C-alpha cells in the first residue's frame, strides 16, 4: 500500500471513529432524557397505582381520537426521518432535504393538533390544577410537546445547512434523527397510559 | 449504519407500528371483559414492542457495537428500579393521594 493510500485509509478510519463517538454522545444524551421523562411517568404510574380511580374521570375528558391521529402523524414523521438519513447516506441530498422538510411539517402538524386539544381543555375550564390527573397530563404532554418543538428547530437548522452534508458527512443528520425517534418513543408510551388505559 | 439497510425494512417497520397502534386502540376500546389490569399490561407490552422496533431499526441500534446496547438499556434498568422502589409504599402505605399525604405530614 502506498503512503498516500495509507494516509487516506487512516483518514477514513478517523472519520468512522468520530462518527461513532458522535452517535455515542447522542445516545448518552438520550439516556439522560429517558431519566427526565421517567420522573414524570414514574410519578403518574405510582399515583395511579395508589389510587386506581385517578384516571377514570379525567380520561373521559380526553379526546383519544385526536391523540391516535397524532400517534399516526409521529409514526409517519419517524419514517420520513429515517428515509432522509438513508438518502443522505447514499448521497441523495435532494431526497434527504425533502424528507427532513416533511418530518418538520409532520412535527408541526402534531403541535397544531396538540394546540387544539389544549384549547378545548381550557375552554372547558380544565387546567393543570383541576386534578392530580390533569396535573400529570399537562406536565407529561407539555414537556413532550416542548421536545417536539426542539426537534422541529433542529430539523430546520439541518435544512439550512443541508448543502454541507453528504455520504461522507452526515453525523448531524443521523443524530437529529436519533433525537426525533426518541421523541416518537416517548409518545408511544404516553398515548396508551394517558389516553386509553 | 443506514447505508446498508433497504428502505423496504423501514416501510415494514412503519406498517408494523401503525398496526400496533390500531391494536392498542382496539384492545382498549373493545376488550373491557379482560379487566383493567390485563388491558394495561397488554397495552404496555404493545408499546414496548413498538419502542423496541423503533430503537432497533429506525435508530439503527441493531447495527451498532454491543456497548451501545448497554447505553440504551442502563437507563431503562434505572427506571424500573425507581418504579419498583415505590411499590412497597404504594402497596402497603395508608395514603392514597398527595393531598392525604400532605395532610398526614402536617399532623
Identify the pLDDT of residue A138.
95
Q: Do B10 and A79 touch (CB under 8 A)?
A: yes
- Nearest chain A residue (CA) to B19: A72
Cell of B58: 429506525
Q: Outline where A51-162 has alpha helix (H).
A: 54-61, 64-89, 93-123, 132-160
Q: Cβ(A38)–Cβ(A140) under 8 Å?
A: no
Residue A27 has its nearest CB partner, among B24, B71, B90, at B71
Q: Which residues contact A116 (CB under 8 A, 6 or more apart)?
A: A66
With an 8 Å Cβ cutoff, is B101 touching chain A? no
Does residue A71 sit at the B interface (CB-CB below 8 Å)?
yes
Q: Compute the distance between CA of residue B24 and CA of residue A183 in angstroms, rounded to an integer.
A: 19
Q: Which of A28, A30, A72 sits opposite B18 (nearest CB)?
A: A72
Retrieve residue A119's grid coordinates. Answer: 384549547
Burial grade of A131 (CB within 10 A; 0-12, 13-18, 19 or more): middle
Task: Count chain A–chain B contacts defined by CB atoms under 8 A.
Answer: 131
In whole angstroms, give the CA distance from residue B97 to residue B15: 41
Cβ atoms of A68 and B27 within 8 Å: the answer is: no
- H or E segment at A183? helix A171-190
State how far residue B50 is from chain A, nearest Cα, in angstroms. 7
Q: Write the pLDDT tens digit of every residue in A7-28.
A: 566 666 777 788 888 899 999 9
Domain spans of chain B? 2-106
Give first-to-last CA distance, chain A, whole Å.
63
Measured between beta carbons, which residues in chain B are less than 8 angstroms from residue A30? 72
Determine whether A94 is exposed, middle or buried from the number of CB atoms within 10 Å of its CB (0-12, 13-18, 19+): exposed
| Residue numbers in A near B44 (CB within 8 A) | 189, 192-193
Give the single-character DSSP code of B97: S
pLDDT, tens digit, for every residue of A150-173? 999 999 999 999 999 988 889 999
Residues of chain B neighbouring A84 (CB-CB closer than 8 A): none
CB B96 within 8 A of CB A51: yes
CB contact under 8 A, B2 and A85: yes
**One pLDDT digit (tens) per residue for chain A, 197 residues:** 455 566 566 666 777 788 888 899 999 999 999 999 998 988 888 888 777 777 777 888 888 999 999 999 999 999 999 999 999 999 999 999 999 999 999 999 999 999 999 999 999 989 998 888 999 999 999 999 999 999 999 999 999 999 999 888 899 999 999 999 999 999 999 999 999 88
Question: Is the distance from CB of A46 to CB of A174 less than 8 angstroms?
Answer: no
- A102, B50, B47, A60: CA torsion to nearest 10: 30
Cβ of A6 under 8 Å from any chain B Cβ? Answer: no
In chain B, which residue's Cα lies nearest the Cα of A70? B21
| A63 to chain B, closest Cα gap in Å | 12
Q: Do A86 and B3 touch (CB under 8 A)?
A: yes
Complex-level ipTM beyond the 0.90 threshold: no
**DSSP reduced 3-state for A166:** strand
A3-196 maps to CATH 1.10.10.60:
no
Integer Cα distance of A138 and A64 in angstroms: 15
**Other C-beta atoms lying within 10 Å of the C-beta of residue B3:** 13
Of A27, A83, A184, the CB nearest to B54: A184
- Domain boundaries along the sequence of chain A: 3-196
Strand, helix or coil for residue B46: helix
Q: Which pLDDT score, from 0 to 100, does residue B2 have?
A: 45
In the beta sheet, which residues pair with residue A169?
A166
CA atoms within 13 A on the CB side of B8: 1
Q: Quote the cell numbers at residue A163.
A: 448543502
Whole-number pLDDT of residue A56: 76
Amino acid at each position: 500500500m502506498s503512503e498516500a493510500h495509507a494516509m487516506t485509509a487512516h483518514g477514513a478510519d478517523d472519520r468512522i471513529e468520530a462518527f461513532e463517538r458522535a452517535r455515542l454522545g447522542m445516545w448518552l444524551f438520550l439516556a439522560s432524557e429517558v431519566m427526565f421523562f421517567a420522573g414524570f411517568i414514574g410519578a403518574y404510574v405510582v399515583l395511579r397505582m395508589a389510587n386506581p380511580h385517578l384516571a377514570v374521570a379525567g380520561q373521559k375528558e380526553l379526546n383519544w381520537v385526536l391523540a391516535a391521529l397524532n400517534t399516526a402523524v409521529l409514526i409517519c414523521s419517524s419514517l420520513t426521518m429515517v428515509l432522509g438519513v438513508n438518502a443522505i447516506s447514499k448521497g441523495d441530498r435532494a431526497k434527504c432535504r425533502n424528507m427532513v422538510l416533511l418530518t418538520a411539517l409532520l412535527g408541526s402538524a402534531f403541535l397544531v393538533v396538540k394546540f387544539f386539544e389544549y384549547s378545548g381543555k381550557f375552554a372547558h375550564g380544565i387546567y393543570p390544577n383541576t386534578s392530580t390527573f390533569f396535573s400529570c397530563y399537562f406536565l407529561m404532554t407539555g414537556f413532550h410537546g416542548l421536545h417536539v418543538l426542539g426537534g422541529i428547530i433542529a430539523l430546520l437548522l439541518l435544512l439550512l445547512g443541508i448543502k454541507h452534508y453528504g455520504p461522507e458527512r452526515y453525523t448531524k443528520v443521523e443524530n437529529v434523527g436519533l433525537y426525533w425517534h426518541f421523541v416518537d418513543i416517548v409518545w408511544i408510551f404516553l398515548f396508551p397510559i394517558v389516553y386509553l388505559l | 449504519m443506514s447505508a446498508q439497510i433497504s428502505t423496504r425494512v423501514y416501510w415494514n417497520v412503519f406498517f408494523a407500528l401503525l398496526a400496533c397502534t390500531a391494536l392498542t386502540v382496539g384492545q382498549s376500546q373493545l376488550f373491557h371483559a379482560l379487566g383493567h389490569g390485563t388491558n394495561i399490561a397488554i397495552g404496555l407490552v404493545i408499546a414496548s414492542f413498538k419502542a423496541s422496533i423503533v430503537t432497533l431499526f429506525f435508530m439503527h441500534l441493531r447495527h451498532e457495537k454491543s456497548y451501545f446496547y448497554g447505553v440504551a438499556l442502563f437507563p431503562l434498568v434505572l427506571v424500573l428500579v425507581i418504579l419498583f422502589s415505590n411499590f412497597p409504599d404504594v402497596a402497603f402505605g395508608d395514603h392514597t393521594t398527595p393531598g392525604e399525604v400532605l395532610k398526614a405530614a402536617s399532623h
